[in-house]
Amino acid sequence: MKSVMIWGNLASDRTEEQYPIINVCEKCFKAMNVNNKTNPITSELDFDEYYGETCEYCQKNKSFEEEELLVFLK
């Protein structure tokens, strides 16, 4: 799980709407990085639980993702 800053509504007066910060799981993060032209990420941040514990795109929970990774590593 990562926190990423993405391109939002640049016409907005509010920074948090211009560059919203969302949490994404590793899988969705990789998918977002596949095509540079459509990559919405402006910067990659350390995970911050302030933004929630689920992936913005697939709604995967942080602890569920960690369990999944553990199974994968076995």
Residues that bind Zn ion (CB under 5 A): 25, 28, 55, 57-58, 60
Instruction: Please state the closest distance from residue 14 (CB atom) to Zn ion, in A.
Output: 26
Instruction: Please state the closest distance from residue 54 (CB atom) to Zn ion, in A.
Output: 8
Closer residue to Zn ion, CB minimum distance, 14 or 58: 58
Handedness of CA 63, 32, 34, 7 (dihedral sign): negative
* Number of helical H runs and strand E runs in the chain: 3, 3
CA-CA-CA-CA dihedral for 32, 44, 59, 18, to nearest 10:
-90
Closer residue to Zn ion, CB minimum distance, 2 or 18: 2
Closer residue to Zn ion, CB minimum distance, 22 or 55: 55
Say if residues 3 and 22 touch (Cβ distance below 8 Å): yes
Instruction: Please state the closest distance from residue 37 (CB atom) to Zn ion, in A.
Output: 21
